[in-house]
Structure 1
Amino acid sequence: MSASRKTQQIQLSQLMPGMFVVKLDIPWIESPFLKHSRLITSIDDINKLRKAGVRQVIIDTEKGDVPTASQNKTPTPGKVLTENKEISPNKLKQADNASASGLAKELDVAVKLRSEIKNTVRTINDKLERNLPINSDALLPLIDDTLLSLQRNDQALLNLVHLTHKSQKLIDHAFGTFCLALNLAVTVNFDTEERQALGIAALLHETGWLQLPLHLMGKRTEYTKSERALVQSHIEMGLRLLKESEIPSLSRRIIEEHHELCDGSGYPKGRDAQNTHRASKLFCVVDTYDEWVHQLLDKPGSLPTNALRALYKLAEQGRYDIEFVAGLINILGVYPISSAVLLSTGEKAVVEEVHREAHLSPVVRIEYDVNGRPLKNALRVDLRGPEAEGRIIKMVLDPSDPAEDPLKRLHLEVSE
């Protein structure tokens, strides 16, 4: 923070639209916004900060308004401000119930959409294996349908992204990156052309693997030098397979650059951030996340929360674009959907829905009681609502560990 900047620390109750915030009293990863420095434009911005646990902020008094004596009033405890009134916890509960209903409805659509996306990938791979060209225009309706689903409720498709089948790694990876890339592209305001190019690239970016030994995808031991060279050749092989296909030039570039890193340590050409298209940098982030979570490389898989933290740390070191990593965290939350968690009460639960404005307080499904016994009927609780009764997430669990999930109940329940 510049020494010449005129700043003032104020209580959140003093914060008003028109003020320019430069620092919060919570870690960045817990913030509801991509950046701590921002102009507060609405009461909704303030409510998001309150739900994230912010109590004090530092404002720049030259870039924005300053508080007056009348702004020292503290809001009524347990209520959230609107432009002209306050919302009681009962109203919040009604809104949460509506959200749950909307998610359930959209989840049915998302399951059908997932099936369509996977069948499309199978058709693409079959054509390419028979040396037939792909017409990317035929993929545009699928991209439009996915964007519409994300617009209605972006949690539905995210519920499906973390599901995988060992026999369908290529197809599941295409589905996961397709959904995450489009979701992130909307979040960071990519235009229509870039969204379409990303969607097409996501469905095609691993086609080179069709000519490689698939046992190398998800190998648990470190690649040998020759194996690594073979794996890295999938980009060249994929572009060769797509040579006669009608796809946008930007999609081709994303496919070519999706393993390039901002610090120049990626492949195949070692391009740095200045020489890599921003759409490629975005796709690199979601591709890496999905590879880590679903164990598609030569290392053990990561829990979603751990993958996000590792990505953010590497972004701070300059390897990945920090804006896109921040955007992905904003979408998935600190505890992404499917995360198994231990609550402060000792109960064990799985995350079913996240709130972008309250990353630390998702909706969870409690499966084990305070003594570790399985519940006869799982309990769905919104940790930001009154029914949470003080529950908070204490730590992330590993559902593959029998000691932490003996009955294998800490997973998502989604119809196939």
Structure 2
Amino acid sequence: MTIKTSAARPGMYVHAVEGGWMASPFWRKHLVLASARDVAKLVEAGIGEIVIDTDKGVGPLAPASAPLSVAAAVETAAPAVTVTSTAPPPRTRRRAASELDRARAVVEQSRAAMLRMFADARMGHAIDHRALAPLVDSITESVARDQRALLTVTRLRSKDEYTWLHSVAVGALLIGFARHLGLPEEEASDLGLAGLLHDIGKMAVPSAVLEKTGSLDPAELAVVRHHPEKGHALLLGGDVPDVVRDVCLHHHERVDGRGYPFGLMGERLSLAARMSAVCDVYDAVTSQRPYKRPWAPGDALARMQSWHGHFDPELLAAFIDHIGIHPPGALVRLRSNRLALVLGTGVDDPTAPPVRAFFDIPTQARLPLTDVATDAAGDPILGSERGAYWFGMSWDRMRTAVLTANSNDASPSARAVGA
């Protein structure tokens, strides 16, 4: 049953939300609304409708049809009495703006600016990047307050809004990533601008090709693969920062040289180009597209890690730390200074997946396999680690042993790995 979110109440079993589960502030596919605060979170997230399962939870309230109470009946029967009061009417308290409210305002601000920029590009006009400076500042401030809020709002996109909202999301990801890497604020700002303009060349691609739901034929694929060069040409001249042109031209290159348009590889690609490749792909695969459903963040990062040669592996690891969503199979350090392997995706919170601890860092000793919760009440994840650094050539064998161990063996009394 589909209902308006405003009609939701505690006890309802939410089967789906408008915009997909990634738009939900709870970051999970299904949930029971446990309190009025849970309902308020859905409303504050801008979710207009939800799908509920009345077999698993309560349904909507029926229209009022019960007989009047005694007090109500007396009041109804009594003659009306006019009471004059000199007291001022009560003031309506306004709800304080949440970070999601602020993020929605930034997205609305971006709409006009980005659509105007894209319209200029379609007409072949010069791009005035200075017009985007206020938007870059707003995105930077939003990311500084709460890096997840803006990305949550950009997930609520239709297929017609994908191109410009994708650019806003990539700009936000690049700003947050730059700050995580400790780059100067001016460089972070320029990277944010680069994210906003990285796909400007797609305005030279016919809409029928961009929005095609099936596979592209070779001719269509060739047209799409020219968009970096088209965008770079639009950004020539003027005082556009070099990094903006660099990202526009090279965000589809790969470190193994199998990207486009030039097949550059390794150190021939700038730090900005390698960062943008990660941010661009991550947002693309976790977003609703005309031709595919979004991947869950943890699954997306796991797949990206498996694409050997596509990304700079050290930058991808840093990006995962920045996002805070560690994919299944990743090696992580826990607050207790234990090493653990991620077993799956967190159901309630993708930043707190189940893990299996197996190594104590202070004593450099292997531990009995122990399945651990990583939420705030358990043993939270501090960051990712490299297995080869800790275990050298034996890492692949050890990793396989930990992941394939019987779940009954994963307890405080279980055998140590390799013992």
Q: TM-score, normalised by structure 1?
A: 0.54
User: Against the structure 1 CA distance between its residues 287 and 162, is the aligned structure 2 distance closer, same or farther, given a 3 Å change threshold?
Assistant: same
Q: Which secondary structure state, in structure 2, belongs to the residue aligned with residue 121 of structure 1?
A: helix
**1:293–1:301: 8 Å Cα contact kept in structure 2?**
yes
**1:292–1:302: 8 Å Cα contact kept in structure 2?**
yes
What is the CA-CA distance between 1:236 and the residue it aligns to?
Answer: 1.6
Coordinate RMSD, CA, aligned: 3.1
1:329 aligns with 2:320: yes
Taking the aligned partners of 2:299 and 2:163, their CA distance within structure 1 comes to: 23
Map 1:16-415 → 2, pairs under 5 A: 105-217=98-210, 219-294=212-287, 296=289, 301-314=294-307, 317-334=308-325, 351=349, 358=352, 384-385=375-376
Taking the aligned partners of 2:246 and 2:169, their CA distance within structure 1 comes to: 20
Taking the aligned partners of 2:238 and 2:153, their CA distance within structure 1 comes to: 29
What is the CA-CA distance between 1:224 and the residue it aligns to?
Answer: 1.6
Cα deviation 1:65-94 (Å, max 9, x = unaligned):
xxxxxxxxxxxxxxxxxxxxxxxxxxxxxx
Tell me the amino acid that sits aligned with residue 133 of structure 1. A
Cα deviation 1:270-318 (Å, max 9, x = unaligned):
000210111110001111112222255966643322211111122xx23
**2:278–2:311: 8 Å Cα contact kept in structure 1?**
yes
Cα deviation 1:139-172 (Å, max 9, x = unaligned):
2332222222222222222322433211111112
User: Against the structure 1 CA distance between its residues 216 and 233, is the aligned structure 2 distance closer, same or farther, given a 3 Å change threshold?
Assistant: same
Q: Percent identity?
A: 28
User: Against the structure 1 CA distance between its residues 292 and 175, is the aligned structure 2 distance closer, same or farther, given a 3 Å change threshold?
Assistant: same
What is the CA-CA distance between 1:359 and the residue it aligns to?
Answer: 5.4
User: Against the structure 1 CA distance between its residues 104 and 360, is the aligned structure 2 distance closer, same or farther, given a 3 Å change threshold?
Assistant: farther
What is the CA-CA distance between 1:115 and the residue it aligns to?
Answer: 1.2
Q: Which structure has the greater CA radius of gyration? A: 2
Q: Which secondary structure state, in structure 2, belongs to the residue aligned with residue 309 of structure 1?
A: helix
User: Against the structure 1 CA distance between its residues 129 and 219, is the aligned structure 2 distance closer, same or farther, given a 3 Å change threshold?
Assistant: closer
Tell me the amino acid that sits aligned with residue 334 of structure 1. I
Equivalent residue for 2:4? none
User: Against the structure 1 CA distance between its residues 324 and 160, is the aligned structure 2 distance closer, same or farther, given a 3 Å change threshold?
Assistant: farther
What is the CA-CA distance between 1:210 and the residue it aligns to?
Answer: 1.3
Q: TM-score, normalised by structure 2?
A: 0.53
Taking the aligned partners of 1:141 and 1:323, their CA distance within structure 2 comes to: 32
Gaps of 5+ in 1: 1-99, 337-347, 362-381, 389-416
Taking the aligned partners of 1:300 and 1:113, their CA distance within structure 2 comes to: 25
Cα deviation 1:195-225 (Å, max 9, x = unaligned):
1221112111212211212233354433221
User: Against the structure 1 CA distance between its residues 335 and 277, is the aligned structure 2 distance closer, same or farther, given a 3 Å change threshold?
Assistant: closer
Taking the aligned partners of 1:312 and 1:273, their CA distance within structure 2 comes to: 17
Tell me the amino acid that sits aligned with residue 154 of structure 1. Q
Q: Which secondary structure state, in structure 1, belongs to the residue aligned with residue 104 of structure 2?
A: helix
User: Against the structure 1 CA distance between its residues 123 and 294, is the aligned structure 2 distance closer, same or farther, given a 3 Å change threshold?
Assistant: same
**1:194–1:279: 8 Å Cα contact kept in structure 2?**
no
**1:262–1:320: 8 Å Cα contact kept in structure 2?**
yes
User: Against the structure 1 CA distance between its residues 286 and 252, is the aligned structure 2 distance closer, same or farther, given a 3 Å change threshold?
Assistant: same
What is the CA-CA distance between 1:179 and the residue it aligns to?
Answer: 1.2
What is the CA-CA distance between 1:265 and the residue it aligns to?
Answer: 0.5
Taking the aligned partners of 1:227 and 1:239, their CA distance within structure 2 comes to: 20
Tell me the amino acid that sits aligned with residue 152 of structure 2. N
Aligned length: 249
Taking the aligned partners of 1:265 and 1:298, their CA distance within structure 2 comes to: 24
Map 1:1-16 → 2, pairs under 5 A: none
Equivalent residue for 1:399? none
Taking the aligned partners of 1:139 and 1:146, their CA distance within structure 2 comes to: 11
Cα deviation 1:366-397 (Å, max 9, x = unaligned):
xxxxxxxxxxxxxxxx98255x9xxxxxxxxx
User: Against the structure 1 CA distance between its residues 172 and 303, is the aligned structure 2 distance closer, same or farther, given a 3 Å change threshold?
Assistant: same
Higher strand share: 1
User: Against the structure 1 CA distance between its residues 333 and 312, is the aligned structure 2 distance closer, same or farther, given a 3 Å change threshold?
Assistant: same
**1:216–1:297: 8 Å Cα contact kept in structure 2?**
no
